[in-house]
Chains A and B, each alone.
Chain A
Amino acid sequence: MDEKKIIVIGDFVDPKENERFDLSSTLRLKAKSIDQKRLWASKDRSAEFMGDIWSLFVDSEKEERIKTVLHSVCVELIENSVKYGFQDQDYTIVTDLYLKNDELLVYVINKSDPSQMPELETSASQILGTDNIRKLFKQKMKEAKAAKKQGKSKSQLGYIRILMQNVRLAWRIELGSESAFVTTLARIPLTKKDA
């Protein structure tokens, strides 16, 4: 039997704690094979749809912010799921949203290759450990320029961009020998103080 190791990074809220939610929605993509270009195209529409639909359930002054922030957060997290998802096996991408106590919790769950997890852990810890997000942005762009000269294209800018929108991030990784289930949590504040 495959022993699972649980790794938690950041201030993660277990989805089971969200039973008393005010509102919830789930988008579940699970298929044996999906053309990656189609999945990419559907990602844009899914993210935009979630931004549009959820903006209807918040106060009018927060509507535009939620529409744009949720769209942007979902695009970045679902893109990561497509890019780093296990393409040799079934695609599994689940996007769960909960509105609870003036906070919108966005969970994106996907199945990845376990060999990619050390890089994710390092990247997530570095991003959460910074006290100057603009400085980290500049550093990542310099690294991206150097990587481009070597024919590489990674930047990890997606997570940084999410943090720049006053959104907190956390991760839970269920690591097995054959696969890893990665749950990325984006916490979007809705209170006037934070939003």
Chain B
Amino acid sequence: MNIEGKDYKVSFDGRGTLTMSGKLAAMTEEYEEIEDFFEKVIEAVSEANTTELILDLRELTFLNSSGIKTICVSLVMEADDVDGLCLKVLCRNSLTWQVETVPTFKDLMDNLEIVFE
């Protein structure tokens, strides 16, 4: 399943990898659609007893604060409520927003791993 906006794409492979790419600085209403999408992803991994969810942000070159909030509140904090689930976030060192922001996600979830390449 996936969502495609003008400049971005969010997709889930149905197994354990959620990928976000492009530039995402949407209006609040668009984030509601992405929140619903994340909710379905969390439901799917919970039902399948998945132990690792991968969030691949390596091709997401820009994200505004509303997008960061959406990931934190509707994905990271929800994933933290799923017993036994580890969230692995894939990032790029060359993307400043990721270097400055993604490490703070660790404050919201104990079982979270961040991999920079």
Known: A138-B107, A141-B69, A141-B108. A161 touches B101 (CB 8 A): yes
Q: Are B64 and A76 in touch, CB under 8 angstroms?
A: yes
Q: Are B97 and A72 in contact (CB under 8 A)?
A: yes
Instruction: Contact check, B72 vs A141: say whether CB atoms are below 8 A apart.
Output: yes
Please give, as numbers and ranges, the residues of chain B lying within 8 Å of A179 by CB-CB distance: none
Residues of B within 8 A of A168 (CB): none
Given contacts A79-B64, A157-B65, contact A68 B97 (CB under 8 A): yes
Chain B residues in 8 Å Cβ range of A193 = none
Chain B contact residues, majority secondary structure = helix
Choose one: A44, A69, A79, A141; the contact of B96 (CB below 8 Å): A69
A-chain residues with CB within 8 Å of residue B65 when the two chains form the complex: 76, 79, 155, 157-158, 160-161
- Chain B residues with CB under 8 Å of A165's CB are 100
**Chain B interface bracket (under 10, 10 to 19, 20 to 34, 35 or more):** 20 to 34
Size of the A side of the interface (Cβ < 8 Å), in residues, is 29
Q: A-side binding surface: helix, strand, loop or mixed?
A: helix
- CB-defined contacts of B27 to chain A, threshold 8 Å: 36-37, 40
A contact set with B: CB distance below 8 Å: 36-37, 40, 43-44, 64-65, 68-69, 71-72, 75-76, 79, 134, 137-138, 141, 144-145, 148, 153, 155, 157-158, 160-161, 164-165
- B interface residues with partner A (beta carbon < 8 Å): 7, 23, 25, 27-28, 31, 35, 62, 64-66, 68-69, 72-74, 77, 96-97, 100-101, 104, 107-108
